[in-house]
Structure 1
Amino acid sequence: MRHQQVADNVFTIAGTHVNMVLLRDGRDLTLIDAGWHGDAATIEKSIRALGHRPEDIRAILLTHAHLDHVGALNHLRRHYGTPVYTSEIEVAHARGEVHESATPLDVIKRLSDRSTIGWAARITAAGGLRKNPVPHIETFPIEGALDLPGHPVPIPTPGHTSGHTAFHLPEVGAVATGDTLVTAHPTSKTTGPQLLPNFFNHSTPETLTALEALESLAADLVLPGHGDPFTEGIAEAVAHARAHAANLLR
């Protein structure tokens, strides 16, 4: 199943080795992140399976501008006029004016077994080599809780990219952590709360520092950009991620 309910009016959508979060308020929706370019159909099918239409998405919030998160933004804008928002710092990255992503060579160097080779093949088919700038992206319209379904609160978490943002969902006690904190990845040998491998991060030390912005949030449910939801609370997730990061930085 490509989508699942994880809290009241909160759903996750599984793209190609990447997660999206959908917030619902009546007929209105907020989408956090948009998978790979090839995940557009998955997003639309999941929304329709929940009894909604893609036109019900009032806005898309972008944690950061890597290809596995911006994928369907242009499709949704072109077909439904959906606005997209991210942090002021991340706008230039989303528009393709700066580059803070792992390169294909970075990935190729780490294809060490069948699982990582299979992952690379699948993300390539989903648009992993396709340039996908988002010229229409805007900055968050206000500070604090956004006037959107689910009332998400942007939490600056720079490091994975310079303008990375997590989203606190105080109404349901959850936080969408994007790629600042994940619970699994095909290129990682471990599972559970962790940072992504160094080559994915613009700055792993800054990503580690960004965990400080997350650990005190009132959030029992952690919704990562990669891996399964974590239900033991954000403070416990951060503790696990710090322990994992100690090995990354050796």
Structure 2
Amino acid sequence: MTSIGSGGGIEVTPDIFSYTNQIVNLILVGNSNEFVLIDTGMPKAAGEIKEMIAERMGENARPNAIVLTHGHFDHVGSLVELLEDWRVPVYAHELELPYLKGEKDYPPGDPEVDSGLVAKMSTMFPNHGINIGDQVKMLPKDGTMPFMPGWKWLHTPGHTPGHVSFFREQDRTLLAGDAFVTVKQESLYKVLTQTVEISGPPRYFTTDWEQAYESVRKLEALKPEIAVTGHGLPMSGKELSENLAFLAKNFTEVAKPKSSRYVN
């Protein structure tokens, strides 16, 4: 499964580059001298990711660190393979570590959350954890970001227990992960065409809807000027502020599924 945006990238700001691997975004933050990779895309994409980084940052470039929004298969799919060549630290929230150390698996996808084909296919998506051992470290408890001066991380659970988003006050840029997305991830047609539509976290893998709602409210309260999400195109300005405010105000009606094994 892939989208029309796969293999393409968008320079969101001079130091933020969003790259689409099939249906998911990974992000480079920084420049050729020092940069961080946020998330690692789908399985078997390590070669593609390395080629993208070489083209963007220079031959043999590698990140100072990898930072994870969360550990679902489409965000850590190529992590193990990348770490075979890159002995770089990996950072994630404390509550996400059991899924990255082989101690826990995520709950399976719920096909009943939406009539869209992606939702119906979700039981086939991998939900197992991975094991990268002591290469994964806990994000600093003071909210700072390793190798990302000026940024802070925010705990935005709901989609997963340890999901995090990243915010830079200087230009009000938000890297939201899957706390909310800008494509209706449950619909195969909208995923393939990358139809822009602000949406809550992907329904089929979201397990705590009260936390998911609070996370959207927390991010909307930041009044971001630019948002890059885990799925879909970047959004900015009035389009972002109006749509994110609408999502926060009407979360129960537009984001939360009417029925799901995880709603209650």
Is the pair's TM-score, using the shorter chain for normalization, greater than 0.5?
yes
**Are 1:201 and 2:199 an aligned pair?**
no
Which AA in structure 1 matches 2:168? L
Is the 1:195–1:245 contact (alpha carbons within 8 Å) kept by the matching residues of 2? Answer: no
In 2, distance between residues paired with 1:64 and 1:73? Answer: 12
CA distance in 1, matches of 2:183, 2:157: 20
| Alpha-carbon separation, structure 2, partners of 1:26 and 1:41 | 19
Give per-residue Cα distances to partners, 1:143-202, cap 9 Å, x unaligned. Answer: 233241454311110111111100113344211111111011442378421113432102
Match of 1:246 in 2: 253
* CA pair 54-210 structure 1, distance change in 2 beyond 3 A: farther
Asked if the contact 2:174/2:226 (under 8 Å) is kept, the reply is: yes
Query: How far apart in 1 are the matches of 2:202 and 2:31?
Result: 36
**TM-score, scaled relative to structure 1:** 0.82
Distance 1:245 1:99, change over 3 A: farther
The residue that corresponds to 1:187 in the other structure is 186
Measure how far apart 1:49 and its partner are.
1.3
| Counterpart residue number, 1:145 | 144
Corresponding position of 2:235: 230
Correspondence list, 1:169-180, <5 A: 169-180=168-179
Once the two structures are overlaid, the 10-residue window that deviates more, 87-96 or 156-165, is 87-96
Match of 2:165 in 1: 166
Pairing of 1:43-192 with structure 2 (within 5 A): 43-53=49-59, 55-103=61-109, 106=110, 116=118, 128=126, 132-135=130-133, 136-141=135-140, 143-149=142-148, 151-188=150-187, 191-192=196-197
Deviation at 1:112, TM superposition (A): 6.5
1:111–1:203 CA distance, 2 compared to 1 (3 A): closer
Length-normalised TM-score, structure 2: 0.79
Q: Which residue of 2 aligns with 1:3?
A: 9
- Post-superposition Cα deviations, 1:45-76, rounded to whole Å, max 9, x if no partner, equal 11111142454300111011101111122222
SS of the aligned residue for 1:14 comes to: strand
Taking a change above 3 Å as real, the CA distance of residues 60 and 197 of structure 1, as seen in their structure-2 partners, is closer
Name the CA distance, whole Å, in 1 between partners of 2:50 and 2:81: 11
In structure 2, the gaps of 5 or more residues are: 1-6, 259-264
User: Superposition RMSD on alpha carbons, in Å?
Assistant: 3.0
Give 1:96 shift. 3.0
Structure 1 residues 20 and 150: alpha-carbon distance in aligned structure 2, compared to 1, 3 A threshold: farther
In 2, Cα distance between the equivalents of 1:193 and 1:231?
12
Q: What's 1:16 paired with?
A: 22
For residue 230 of structure 1, report the CA deviation from its aligned partner: 1.0
Work out whether residues 2 and 46 of structure 1, in 8 Å CA contact, stay in contact via their aligned partners in 2.
Answer: no
CA distance in 1, matches of 2:182, 2:74: 16
- Secondary structure of 1:30's counterpart equals strand
Secondary structure, aligned partner of 1:57: coil
* Structure 2 residue matching 1:20: 3-state secondary structure: strand
Q: Does 1:31 align with 2:37?
A: yes
